[in-house]
Amino acid sequence: MRRETLAIIWGGGLLLAVLIYLVGPDQFFDSVLALLDTLDFGFRRLILSLGTQLFGIIRALAIALYVVFVVLAVTASARGRHGIGALIVVSIVYALLVWRPYAVSDIPPGRWIVAFVLVMVSAIVMTQRLMRPPREPRWPPFPPRPPA
């Protein structure tokens, strides 16, 4: 074993002895447990505040992506692509997830997360539809016209 490693181990032991002496040998474990409780409380508080901010971000993204999806679906429909059916289905499911006309309490976060995923996937699919090259027109058009 290297001498530097041994010196670090001995130095750490001496530093621990000084720390135990300053805190008091009888209260050392109580002090360590109190420090761990304080760190745990701070960590939980941080997670709670980040969770609240993250929930607001998810709600904002769900609403904005729904608007993006509506614009993409209308654009796809105007260019002759399938989009109105998807717009109707996604709008109904989205409304069932997030709309509460006379709500006493807030909508559960899980519903907003599902709504966010729904409109994100729908917007991606609609974007892919718009990026594909146009279909070749069929000739003769179906159904063929009867001869006159």
Helices 28-78 and 109-131, interaxial angle, to 10°? 40
What mean pLDDT value characterizes the chain?
A: 85
Give the separation between CA 67 and CA 72, rounded to whole angstroms.
Answer: 9
Question: What pLDDT, on the 0 to 100 scale, is given for residue 143?
Answer: 67
Give the separation between CA 84 and CA 75, rounded to whole angstroms.
Answer: 10
pLDDT, averaged in runs of 10, over the chain (148 residues): 88 90 83 86 82 85 95 90 91 89 73 92 93 73 67
User: From the CB of residue 111, how many other CB atoms can be counted at a distance below 10 Å?
Assistant: 15
Please state the three-class secondary structure of the chain as a single string: CCHHHHHHHHHHHHHHHHHHHHHCCCCHHHHHHHHHHHHHHHHHHHHHHHHHHHHHHHHHHHHHHHHHHHHHHHHHHHCCCCCHHHHHHHHHHHHHHHCCCCCCCCCCHHHHHHHHHHHHHHHHHHHHHHHCCCCCCCCCCCCCCCCC
Model confidence, pTM: 0.62
Question: What pLDDT, on the 0 to 100 scale, is given for residue 62?
Answer: 93
Question: What pLDDT, on the 0 to 100 scale, is given for residue 145?
Answer: 67
